[in-house]
Structure 1
């Protein structure tokens, strides 16, 4: 097996079903690319791009009979059932990672469009620019001081870091430890001293400090507790969860604390590639797509888990070593589509109020990133069953395509909406959904084995720009029995995810989100086993009930 290759899923039925679908589409070989530690990185570009995102059509979308009366209050029996919702997430996950702009991602957008049209919504697509970067092959070979070549297991590549040709880049390995400026300066001094000694003996001087080197740096992850959430919470439900969170590990690579090693600094010092050493266990480090909003940096980088990192440093302890690092990628300028779906309301004469924007994103690595799409389809299915006259507000569902890219590589939702005032005209509030139904898994901040914690993940229900919505959200959390949830304050001009964009436009916003350790992980089976079917449904029911209550608010922007 290679580092770019996905092993069979644990379920034989799931593996056979996927095989049949991909064989029929002529794309079976492109289900390669799941990041598997310990392998050489060969595989199709993008991980699972060749799945094409067309495993099934939207024709199997549930369309229940039209309902009488008016929507709400919403109960679990009112939405599609838990098995149906789960099947939608399973279908999304089966095509593999939906890396931004990949064939699987584009196919997922197509599938959402078909499903939403099936519910009678008016669907439009809006292309936006994308500097696309999709990994192909990745590998690392180190030749030690004795001339023996070792192929080291690679946990993951660093997205958009840079790319090599098929043969990779080769250079002397320089261990910079923490990788700060002092480390670079110290290594440059050592290199200059070595060059001077060589020059005194008649040899040629070095072209420059660290020129042509493959640098090794630490990529630590801050050991945090889940109390980082409660510290920013207006309230926590149930109140006893505060004490629980204070004891729970919340070491998360996706938080970017501390920031990832600086590629620009390494490049400025002449490095040709970087090897990052994470403190994570092999099972958790494998396939981590991080940083997930990396600017194109022009320096290819791979990440090792704590075991491969220790092995590399043991080889370096034997004496000077050289490394060949391969990271090929398909890089191109293209477009990718925002998807909008409108469900108009009418309401009794003289009562129609403004629009509620309901948002998520479509790109992602697994069953968590991003299952907001299936959840929003469940909301659309429910509200579309009722006559327009019973809905006092329009619902505008927005699926953004570019969460997993840097600002410079695309047009993010806040900038995109700002450029399209005709879309935001009449929007009075927003509801955003991401990462539903997640269970806790961790490796105790890198100190233990990766395993299930036996708990559900903490839920952040973040609210911005409206005291009215904060009160409403807090009441709905309490009445619905949503467990281990914080009503969160805005933080660093954001709302913890996709909700940031509506919030930055001044729109009163509620955003529901979780952040498990495996959030960005490309893994066999897409980490579907780390979701709970009943919890996924419960979270979606919570969103439906919250949306109904938002729709019932008096007209005007809620203050």
Structure 2
């Protein structure tokens, strides 16, 4: 992972194994598709974590109606199920639910500036845990702050977007929004996009369970979770982000080009921003995004204790500083190397292709090329 800035408190962490389930969405999705295609009766995912830690665990979030019922169990149940399977026992797995249709919308608020050119702050609005669903808190705080400032302090227009469908990616609102901003960027309406997710997260690690019980249990470590702040190839924005991290003394932050390996044969070179920022970056709209992926991301059990409010506030202030730092910087300077990427795209150079997951799974497995991204 190519970094611009690593805070000193991450010095040894980058050499450790990153033991988090936040990136398991894709593999879980594939397992369920393949199980349905193979005609499996059901799927049981076995956690090596205490049951109470993963109660009501929510992932994958592709928004797919799979062909098989599935469930998660904790470490104790995993031991029992393996034992019963070895004995040839049978079991019944049933998931009862109601399915209905509903219409949801991306909600967009505009704070006019002196010019129509926009800086866009955004997050998603799906509710699962206190970590997954706290971007709107930061977005509303930024709206209130900038709305109190006199117009002379606000050259560019500000747009605040509360996007829908992120926990139902087959209907992902941010991808639709990203395609819209790609077109608006062509017409000169947009200067920068700033997505934010999973703020103020406290670190949770897995430790051996006491009294010889099987598996591990999750506990707060007393530290905060590592945050990933991705920045596209824009020197002014890179500088603004690094300055904001230092100014507000943010802890455990990695400022980086992306969370994927570089691919020199396509644009952009670094594909993944680890979250919804990926959509905008890959459609070559100048983007910088902040995200974390703690154990509490999909596990509601930790409740509000999963969030360090003071940390969330400092991160929000740092995100607001990006607008202040680049408000008088020209759109062309902010674009940086994105302009070259966009020119290459027009000339037919290879770019990632986003594919929505199917709303309803089928027996036939989808085939995706090597340039397809399904976040």
Instruction: Tell me which interval the TM-score lies in, with the shorter structure as reference length.
Output: 0.7 to 0.9
Q: Tell me the residue number matched to 2:356.
A: none
Contact 1:465 1:506 survives alignment (8 Å)? no
Shift of residue 514, structure 1, vs aligned partner: 1.5
1:540 aligned to which of 316, 324, 343: 316
- Summarize the Cα distance change of 1:420–1:439 in structure 2 as closer, same or farther, 3 Å threshold: closer
Q: Tell me the residue number matched to 1:355.
A: 118
1:341 aligned to which of 109, 112, 135: 109
- Summarize the Cα distance change of 1:502–1:388 in structure 2 as closer, same or farther, 3 Å threshold: same
Shift of residue 245, structure 1, vs aligned partner: 3.9
Q: Tell me the residue number matched to 1:316.
A: 85
2:296 aligned to which of 518, 531, 550: 518
Matched, 1:366 2:134: no
**In structure 2, C-alpha distance between the alignment counterparts of 1:468 and 1:553, rounded to whole Å:** 8
Q: What SS does the corresponding residue of 2:105 show, helix, strand or coil?
A: strand
Higher relative contact order (CA 8 A, sep 6+): 2
Task: Map 1:45-84 onto structure 2 (within 5 A).
Answer: none
- Summarize the Cα distance change of 1:498–1:341 in structure 2 as closer, same or farther, 3 Å threshold: same
Shift of residue 412, structure 1, vs aligned partner: 4.0
Q: What SS does the corresponding residue of 1:389 show, helix, strand or coil?
A: helix
**In structure 2, C-alpha distance between the alignment counterparts of 1:330 and 1:395, rounded to whole Å:** 40
- Summarize the Cα distance change of 1:374–1:556 in structure 2 as closer, same or farther, 3 Å threshold: same
Contact 2:164 2:174 survives alignment (8 Å)? no
Higher alpha-carbon Rg = 1
Shift of residue 294, structure 1, vs aligned partner: 5.2
Q: Tell me the residue number matched to 2:286.
A: 508
Q: What SS does the corresponding residue of 1:259 show, helix, strand or coil?
A: helix
Task: Map 1:92-111 onto structure 2 (within 5 A).
Answer: none
Contact 1:254 1:292 survives alignment (8 Å)? no
Q: What's the CA shift string for 1:513-546, capped at 9, x where partnerless?
A: 11111111233xx620121222121111111222
TM-score normalised according to structure 1 size:
0.53
1:264 aligned to which of 15, 22, 33: 33
Task: Map 1:475-486 onto structure 2 (within 5 A).
Answer: 475-486=243-254
Q: Tell me the residue number matched to 1:414.
A: 175
**In structure 2, C-alpha distance between the alignment counterparts of 1:445 and 1:286, rounded to whole Å:** 18
Structure 1 residues without counterparts, runs of 5 or longer: 1-230, 347-351
- Summarize the Cα distance change of 1:475–1:557 in structure 2 as closer, same or farther, 3 Å threshold: same
Q: What SS does the corresponding residue of 1:327 show, helix, strand or coil?
A: coil
- Summarize the Cα distance change of 1:287–1:250 in structure 2 as closer, same or farther, 3 Å threshold: farther
**In structure 1, C-alpha distance between the alignment counterparts of 2:179 and 2:13, rounded to whole Å:** 41
Contact 2:130 2:300 survives alignment (8 Å)? no
Q: Tell me the residue number matched to 2:200.
A: 437
Contact 1:364 1:520 survives alignment (8 Å)? no
Structure 2 residues without counterparts, runs of 5 or longer: 210-214, 261-270, 337-375
Shift of residue 549, structure 1, vs aligned partner: 1.4
1:237 aligned to which of 3, 7, 21: 7
TM-score normalised according to structure 2 size:
0.77
Shift of residue 452, structure 1, vs aligned partner: 1.1
